[in-house]
Amino acid sequence: MEAIVKDFPNVRAVDGGRFDLRAGEVHALIGENGAGKSTMMKTLYGLYAPEEGRIVVRGRSFEALTPAEAIALGIGMVHQEFMLVRELTVLENIILGFEPRKSGGRIDFAEAEARVRRFVDDYGLHVQLHKKVNAISVGEAQRVEIIKALYRGAEILILDEPTAVLTPQEASRLFEILKTLTASGKSVVFITHKLREVMALSDRVTVMRQGRHVATVDVSATSIPELARLMVGRDVFLGVDRSGHGSVGDVALSVEDVFVPGDKELSKLRGVSFELRRGEILGLAGIDGNGQSELVEAIAGLRPVERGRIRLGGREIQNRRPLEVRAAGLAHIPEDRNFRGLNRAMSIEENLAGMAFRRAPLSRGPLLVAGALRRFARRLIETFDIRPARPEAATAHLSGGNAQKVVVAREVDEEAQVLLAAQPTRGVDVGSIENIRRELIRARDRGAAILLVSADLEEILSLSDRIAVMYEGQITGLLDAEGADEESLGLLMTGGALP
């Protein structure tokens, strides 16, 4: 891809973008939120026609590709936000639009299944072909997307932040699959914010900043600090400063012997108890699907509690409606920004004010205060570095990481007694991770009680004061963060006990 320019209203998303891909390589594409990574690759996949530049695939030159041309050229893409049809089965999703037919025109499901099984076997892409997509895990849905691309003949596979939604275990499984794919000559474009993954998995890496090509380097000739500097344009402090931790106060949230129905058998909560105090961050670690999501939803009033008590600031809140729970002093960064975090039909400003508009200074009685909303939005946009920095911009067009920042900003700014932070830095670039983590520590130091749920053990270890480990719907360990390490947590997370 040479000298690519792609404009959207009010923004030049790609401005002289350059990218080349060799057969059999994993090529990482990195850059800050909004740098133009997704746009660049959507151009290669034929979803956008660039204003300028050209795309050369195996010697054939194009000004723009259509999706059909891209597929015919062997280009496949797995998007940042999955695009499967939830009501169809895995097999139906894979063959959708490319169904083998019997003479007479009916879909030949036996033939389809045989073809799909070859990819399952050749690349170790284990999936349950006859399950509906709404009944499978995120990791499995991603494998379905990969098989779908391969089924359509992909030789070039673009993965847009594939590990953002995966547990570390699922991610290593994905890496094995990618190795098998490249060993057979296929090429992989790998968009990620996790520099450790870039170093571990890729051959080369391209860095974009503000739509421009910054550098393409061999991974063997670079380092994490150098990549971070290339992305952000300054040195990035990759740790968190936790000094100044004040004293831990009263119990803000107590969960007593709580039983909650689960999405799966393993994720039913079976007698969960813990206390969360003001001025502390309690990290909740665990392999995804062991009840963490159910626990957060039960506290937030989004899932029924069958037995047990949840108290917030002394008031019982189990089985109350979400708004009542919020009124009692809860803020919630949900794990899925699109499903529960944002109203994508509204602007950045409207989303930021989603709770705050109900009270001063944004409103007085039933009336909104002129100008206050704009000032409020500008302040949060600046603190959390939301781009574009225009309050009236639509959230529907935000890059993934910037959408996440809107949700985090709104919830942290609530200054609630209790903050449930589920995957707060999912999809966010290194500079903004630094920012969000600092704001969480600040909230804690102000006296907030924070329950941090993260699939990222490094995040749990660097932010938490205490760590609880969930396994099969129960808390199997509760330890001081001081002295905890990835190994001991890993052991607890897989059902083992500490020696």
Ligand X SMILES: Nc1ncnc2c1ncn2[C@@H]1O[C@H](COP(=O)(O)OP(=O)(O)OP(=O)(O)O)[C@@H](O)[C@H]1O
Positions that interact with ligand X (CB under 6 A)? 8, 11, 13, 31, 33-39, 80, 387-388, 397-402, 429
Q: How far is the CB of 171 from ligand X (least distance, A)?
A: 17
Q: How far is the CB of 11 from ligand X (least distance, A)?
A: 5
Q: How far is the CB of 159 from Mg ion (least distance, A)?
A: 11
Task: Identify which of residues 47 and 362 has a Cβ nearer to ligand X in the complex.
Answer: 47
Query: Within 273-399, where are the H helices?
Result: 292-300, 322-327, 348-352, 372-383
Q: How far is the CB of 184 from ligand X (least distance, A)?
A: 28
Of the candidates 17, 475, 459, 390, which has an alpha carbon nearest to the alpha carbon of residue 210? 17
Task: Identify which of residues 311 and 397 has a Cβ nearer to ligand X in the complex.
Answer: 397
SS3 state of residue 96: coil
Name 102's bridge partners.
none
Which entry of ligand X, Mg ion, none binds 36, CB below 5 to 8 A by partner kind?
Answer: ligand X
Task: Identify which of residues 293 and 402 has a Cβ nearer to ligand X in the complex.
Answer: 402
Which entry of Mg ion, ligand X, none binds 34, CB below 5 to 8 A by partner kind?
Answer: ligand X
Q: How far is the CB of 90 from ligand X (least distance, A)?
A: 26
Which entry of ligand X, Mg ion, none binds 11, CB below 5 to 8 A by partner kind?
Answer: ligand X
Chain residues in the site for Mg ion (CB under 5 A): 38, 399-400
471: DSSP letter? E
Q: How far is the CB of 37 from ligand X (least distance, A)?
A: 3
Which entry of ligand X, Mg ion, none binds 425, CB below 5 to 8 A by partner kind?
Answer: none
Which entry of ligand X, Mg ion, none binds 202, CB below 5 to 8 A by partner kind?
Answer: none
Q: How far is the CB of 388 from ligand X (least distance, A)?
A: 6
The CA-CA-CA angle for residues 456, 142, 423, to 5°, reads: 25
Which entry of Mg ion, ligand X, none binds 8, CB below 5 to 8 A by partner kind?
Answer: ligand X
Q: How far is the CB of 453 from ligand X (least distance, A)?
A: 21
In contact, 142 and 82? CB cutoff 8 Å: yes
Task: Please provide the size of the chain in residues.
Answer: 499
**Residue 285 to residue 291: CA distance in whole angstroms:** 11
Task: Identify which of residues 179 and 390 has a Cβ nearer to ligand X in the complex.
Answer: 390
Which entry of Mg ion, ligand X, none binds 35, CB below 5 to 8 A by partner kind?
Answer: ligand X
Task: Identify which of residues 47 and 120 has a Cβ nearer to ligand X in the complex.
Answer: 47
Task: Identify which of residues 9 and 185 has a Cβ nearer to ligand X in the complex.
Answer: 9
Which entry of Mg ion, ligand X, none binds 402, CB below 5 to 8 A by partner kind?
Answer: ligand X
How far out from the chain centre does Cα 65 lie? 28
Q: Which residue number is nearest to Mg ion in terms of Cβ?
A: 38
Give the C-alpha distances (Å, rounded to integers) separating 478 from 252, 274, 439, 464, 469: 18, 9, 25, 12, 6
In contact, 205 and 219? CB cutoff 8 Å: yes
In contact, 258 and 298? CB cutoff 8 Å: yes
Task: Identify which of residues 283 and 400 has a Cβ nearer to Mg ion in the complex.
Answer: 400
**Residue 242 to residue 107: CA distance in whole angstroms:** 60
Task: Identify which of residues 300 and 428 has a Cβ nearer to ligand X in the complex.
Answer: 428
In contact, 492 and 469? CB cutoff 8 Å: yes
Q: In three state form, how does the secondary structure of 254-296 look?
A: EEEEEEECCCCHHHCEEEEEEEEECCCEEEEECCCCCCHHHHH
